[in-house]
């Protein structure tokens, strides 16, 4: 499969951001924000298919890599009628999630970027940040406050 | 030796139907769903993913239900399922330093930057059965006065800066992969760690415990245990740049162990490393103890204990292999056994013949 047209660093960064949000979204949520009937017509370059990715870690957390174990990964590539190609690589086994993510990836590269960013990407980004904030607040309550016991009163 | 035996098909079908009925239990009681297992038996799911060596919560929940809660059977099912799927590639190494922290404790330092975050833990519970807990809704969770820092410094870096602990290893080259090449000995640390992650929790727990009791002492301190969420990144060929494909929950344990020095290097603490999917904390701790014990060659220590013998440890840590070999004893060995029976009868006849000769 041919590489996409060369992109500037900034475009790659924006694309990495939306691909991350699309992959990390719960599939029910992505369905709600981008219902299937909103998909424009497209052709499959690669129909959704599920395989594995070997996850790597680092010895001692920061040292040389080692293979930890695998995870399921679903991929899909599509082409819009205007020729734009969209890709999706999404952990898990949901084909529909990968199709929606690939279609969004293609649309976000074109004229519909602003509209789709507002409808899908911005809400996903807010929800991710809010979920992380809620998690951090709950965990903050479990932070230990040490105090030193005073032995008797010293006058 | 096995011999094809015919005639069991009807019995096997009936046995499997009976298994299905037993699995379902009393039909008057609602059937549990795999979603419930995924949401409420999370630590069972975490163990099946870790030892099944496949991160997929839904598949692990299906396996646990199908296996009637027998986790080794569930792990077996996951390993079998994994072989049906193609491999698309290797992830970028996950960065546990960037973990979205849910729990982070150190038994070595009280006041480290970021603090001690207990998170969801059984520690400090009274281990009394709470009969009401199964029926009443959980009390609302408190929230802290302020957010935590999203990420936290690594505890071992605090002493690493002074050179008091060895650096995390940095070897070059592609890490070995025991799902591609069978394990051979001696095995390097990358392969030992891969093997330990999928190793049986009970076996590694016992071996780790043995090192604490003196069989290959290494004087460990739990330098840092952290549990939380890390992003997974992958570089697809068709894109040519790295993208995040999701996130996983992971537990990491870094043990600080007693010193090692040499003529050229002043004494330093040494490291043991443990990692598991989900919140398998006991597993990550046990793994860190065994990883350190297995570093005997590298650290030029004397091998005296079972936990230091890599061939013994790694050849017996995999519970799917172990259960396969132990449980195969149930399969028909009729011809083998007949041969032994014949041999024994002949030996006894001969022995009796000799006795008679001696008596005459």
pLDDT in the model for residue A3? 42
Decide if pLDDT at A7 tops 60. no
Quick one: which of A89, A74, A96, A77 has its CA closest to A28? A96
Q: Does residue B216 come out as left (phi exceeding 0), alpha (psi in the -120 to 50 range) or beta? A: left
Task: Please indicate, yes or no, if residue A43 is contained in any of the structural domains.
Answer: yes
Task: Please indicate, yes or no, if residue A146 is contained in any of the structural domains.
Answer: no
More confident position, A55 or B151 = A55
Task: Please indicate, yes or no, if residue A144 is contained in any of the structural domains.
Answer: no
Residues of B in contact with A1 (CB under 8 A): 237-238
Distance from CA of A5 to the nearest CA of B (A): 10
pLDDT in the model for residue A10? 59
Task: Please indicate, yes or no, if residue A136 is contained in any of the structural domains.
Answer: no
The mean predicted confidence, pLDDT, of chain B is 92
Residue range A32-58: mean pLDDT, rounded: 97
Task: Please indicate, yes or no, if residue A26 is contained in any of the structural domains.
Answer: yes
Say yes or no for a CB contact (<8 Å) between B117 and A142: yes
Say yes or no for a CB contact (<8 Å) between B93 and A57: yes
Tell me which residue range forms the domain holding A122.
10-128
Matching residue, tokens 């029926």: B135
Q: Tell me the per-residue pLDDT of B188-202, one tens digit each, with 9 for 90 and over.
A: 999 999 999 999 999
pLDDT in the model for residue B148? 77
In chain A, the number of structural domains is 1
The model's confidence at residue A21, banded by pLDDT at 50, 70 and 90, is: very high
pLDDT in the model for residue B133? 64
What does the alpha-carbon distance between residue B207 and residue B223 come to, in Å, rounded to a whole number? Answer: 20
Matching residue, tokens 């789709």: A116
Q: Which residue of B has its CA nearest to A72?
A: B56
Say yes or no for a CB contact (<8 Å) between A140 and B85: no
Q: How far is CA A100 from CA A33, A34, B8, B238, B280, in A?
A: 10, 7, 49, 18, 33
3-state secondary structure of A17: helix
Decide if pLDDT at B1 tops 90. no
How many residues comprise chain B? Answer: 360
Q: What is the ipTM of this complex?
A: 0.92
More confident position, A151 or B347 = B347
Task: Please indicate, yes or no, if residue A152 is contained in any of the structural domains.
Answer: no
Task: Please indicate, yes or no, if residue A28 is contained in any of the structural domains.
Answer: yes
Quick one: which of B197, B195, B201, B204 has its CA closest to B176? B195
Residues of A in contact with B147 (CB under 8 A): 133, 136-137, 140
What does the alpha-carbon distance between residue A80 and residue A62 come to, in Å, rounded to a whole number? Answer: 42
Say yes or no for a CB contact (<8 Å) between B55 and A12: no
Domain boundaries, chain B: 9-82, 96-137+145-317, 332-359
Matching residue, tokens 């734009």: A84
């Amino acid at each position: 499969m041919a590489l996409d047209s060369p992109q500037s660093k900034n475009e790659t960064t924006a694309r990495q951001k939306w691909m991350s949000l699309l992959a990390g979204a719960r599939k029910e949520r992505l369905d709600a924000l981008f219902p299937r009937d909103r998909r424009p017509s497209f052709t499959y370059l690669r129909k959704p298919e599920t395989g594995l990715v070997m996850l790597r870690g680092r010895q001692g957390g920061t040292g040389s890599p080692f293979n930890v174990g695998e995870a399921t990964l679903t991929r899909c590539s599509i082409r819009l009628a205007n020729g734009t190609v969209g890709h999706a690589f999404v952990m898990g086994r949901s084909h529909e999630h990968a199709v929606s993510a690939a279609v969004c990836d293609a649309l976000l590269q074109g004229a519909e970027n602003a509209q789709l960013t507002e409808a899908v990407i911005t809400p996903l980004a807010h929800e991710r940040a809010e979920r992380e904030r809620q998690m951090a607040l709950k965990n903050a309550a479990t932070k230990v406050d040490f105090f030193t016991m005073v032995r008797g009163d010293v006058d | 030796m096995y011999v094809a035996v015919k005639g069991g098909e009807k019995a096997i079908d009936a046995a499997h139907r009976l298994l299905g009925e037993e699995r379902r239990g009393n039909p008057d009681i609602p059937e549990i769903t795999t979603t419930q297992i995924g949401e409420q038996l999370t630590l069972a799911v975490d163990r099946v993913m870790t030892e099944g060596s496949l991160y997929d919560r839904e598949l692990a929940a299906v396996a646990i239900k199908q296996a009637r809660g027998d986790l080794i059977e569930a792990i077996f099912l996951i390993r079998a399922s994994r072989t049906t799927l193609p491999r698309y590639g290797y992830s970028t190494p996950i960065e546990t330093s960037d973990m979205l922290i849910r729990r982070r404790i150190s038994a070595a330092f009280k006041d480290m930057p970021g603090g001690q975050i207990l998170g969801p833990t059984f520690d400090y519970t009274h281990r009394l059965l709470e009969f009401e807990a199964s029926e009443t809704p959980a009390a609302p969770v408190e929230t802290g006065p302020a957010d935590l820092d999203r990420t936290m410094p690594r505890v071992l870096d605090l002493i690493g800066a002074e050179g008091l602990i060895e650096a995390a290893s940095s070897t070059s080259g592609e890490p070995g992969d025991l799902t591609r090449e069978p394990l051979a000995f001696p095995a390097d640390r990358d392969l030992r760690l891969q093997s330990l992650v999928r190793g049986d929790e009970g076996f590694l727990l016992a071996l780790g415990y043995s090192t604490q009791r003196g069989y290959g002492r290494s004087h460990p301190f739990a330098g840092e245990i952290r549990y939380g969420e890390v992003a997974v990144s992958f570089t697809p060929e068709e894109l040519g740049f790295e993208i995040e494909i999701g996130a996983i929950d992971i537990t990491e344990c870094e043990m600080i162990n007693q010193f090692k020095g040499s003529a050229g290097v002043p004494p330093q603490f040494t490291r043991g490393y443990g990692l598991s999917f989900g919140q398998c904390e006991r597993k990550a701790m046990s793994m860190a103890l065994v990883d350190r014990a297995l570093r005997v060659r590298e650290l030029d220590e004397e091998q005296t204990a079972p936990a230091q013998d890599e061939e013994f440890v790694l050849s017996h840590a995999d519970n799917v292999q172990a259960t396969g070999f132990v449980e195969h004893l149930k399969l028909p060995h009729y011809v083998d056994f007949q041969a032994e029976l014949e041999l024994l009868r002949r030996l006894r006849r001969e022995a009796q013949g000799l006795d008679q000769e001696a008596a005459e």
